[in-house]
Structure 1
Amino acid sequence: MRRIPVFSTMLVLVAVAIMVALGFWQLQRLKWKEGLLSHYAAARDISREVEWTSKGVGEELLYRRAHLTCSAVRGHSSIAGRNAEGKPGMGQTADCALPGGGKALVVLGWSEQPNAATAWQGGDVRGVIAPGPRLVADPPLGGLEANEIPDPSGIPNNHFSYAMQWFFFAATALVIYALALRKRLSRD
């Protein structure tokens, strides 16, 4: 009669334990992400503006209304974006120097053409803090159309499906090992 292989069994059990731990870790991340998304959704409803300081803004201020003074524009560029109606195009950006030091990326507005807002050279900006972080101007500046306002509802929360994948991988590993072990033991 053959014996159960100790090393192989231990290796499979360790791998399964790691996969199960990763599944529970993803469930913890699910709760964390739900809290973060709830915080972001609540931030959108706060009408009081925060000031974008020379130190920048932290992640806890994402999706809040904010204002800053762009004392000088260091450069213009464009990024992919959508206008207020959802039409794809280019978000026109300015790399702003702030009074007292620091910098901020400002999305001035939207156009179909890249580099459409190179005439804008600074001033007061009001808008919504988007990931990056960047300030999406609302109202738009430089004669541009309005950008799509940043919305946290578009942030995916896939942690439950990731957890289920890890649990499925662990179960699959156990089934495959059990079938291989049964085949090996039945040869005797």
Structure 2
Amino acid sequence: MRLPFIPTIIVVAAMATMIGLGVWQLQRKAEKEALLVQYGAAAEMLPVAWPETPDTAYLYRRATGYCLAPVSWRAIAGQNIEGEAGWRHIASCRTGGGEGPGMQAVMGWSQNFDDPEGWEGGEVTGTITLDPEYGLRLVSDEPVAGLEPVARPTPEEIPNNHLLYAIQWFFFAAAAGIVYLLALRRRLRA
């Protein structure tokens, strides 16, 4: 029996691509594990001053920054320390000189979307985490008046699903091979 050339090439190429993606996910798993170890170690380091420029090397470090004045507020979905769903209130702070990115500071949690009132700024101590819009944000240990404490960010909340993704790609490659062999078998019978 002669194998159909073009379908065989397509299936073999697809299987090779899927196996390659599975191997890549295994490599990503190792990279993510190393990153999580780095973040865990950063959480145990001595506190630093709020960085002037966003740098992911500071993620999960304890830090202190000074908010000269909150320029604006925004609310994003989040949890308080008891795990209740609601809104984290983030102050966009002026940090001095009008230069640089300033500081994004999570100043507390509430079930109300409205901006908190009355806080004029000051020293903020907490944990540095990612902010998709501004690079970094500081999650304050102490909430401002009228808000509750937010859940403290930890590296343990970062998922590492790369092993499952690798298994998924290897399964897809095996399924493609089995389906192709069944199709060849059916063709041979005909």
TM-score, normalization by structure 2: 0.90
Instruction: Show the counterpart of 1:79.
Output: 76
With 4-13 and 66-75 compared, the bigger mean Cα shift is at: 66-75
Further displaced range: 116-125 or 146-155: 116-125
Answer yes or no: is the 8 Å Cα contact 1:76–1:118 preserved in 2: no
The answer as to 2:189 corresponding to 1:186 is yes
2:132 matches 1:129: no
3-state SS of 2:81 partner:
coil
Would the alpha carbon gap of residues 164 and 153 (structure 1) be closer, same or farther in structure 2, given more than 3 Å must change? same
Q: Supply the distance in 2 between the matched residues of 1:116 and 1:17 (Cα, whole angstroms).
A: 53
Aligned counterpart in structure 2 of residue 53 of structure 1, from 29, 51, 54: 51
In structure 1, the gaps of 5 or more residues are none
**Which sits farther off after the overlay, 155-164 or 84-93?**
84-93
Distance in 1 between residues matched to 2:141 and 2:41, nearest whole Å: 19
Number of residue pairs matched by the alignment = 184
Partner of 1:88: 85
Distance 2:173 2:165 in 1: 13
Residues 16-42 of structure 1 show CA distances to partners (whole Å, capped at 9, x for unaligned) of 000000000000000001111111122
After superposition, give the CA deviation of every residue in 1:36-55 in whole Å (9 maximum; x if it has no partner).
Answer: 11111222222x11122332
Partner of 2:37: 38
Consecutive aligned runs of 4 or more in structure 1 exceeding 4 Å deviation: none
Is 1:27–1:163's contact at 8 Å kept on the other side of the alignment? yes
2:141 to 125, 128, 138: 138
* 1:131 partner SS: strand
Identity of counterpart residues, as a percentage?
45
Structure 2 contact 73–115 (Cα < 8 Å) conserved: no
| Corresponding position of 1:163 | 166
Q: Secondary structure at the match of 2:186?
A: helix
- Report the residue type matching 2:173 in the other structure: A
Cα distance, 1:143 vs structure 2: 4.5
Identify unmatched segments of 5+ residues in structure 2.
none
RMSD between superposed Cα atoms in Å: 1.5
Q: Is the 8 A contact 1:127 1:137 kept in 2?
A: yes
Deviation for aligned residue 1:116: 4.5
Further displaced range: 14-23 or 107-116: 107-116
- Output the CA distance in 2 between the equivalents of 1:78 and 1:118: 13
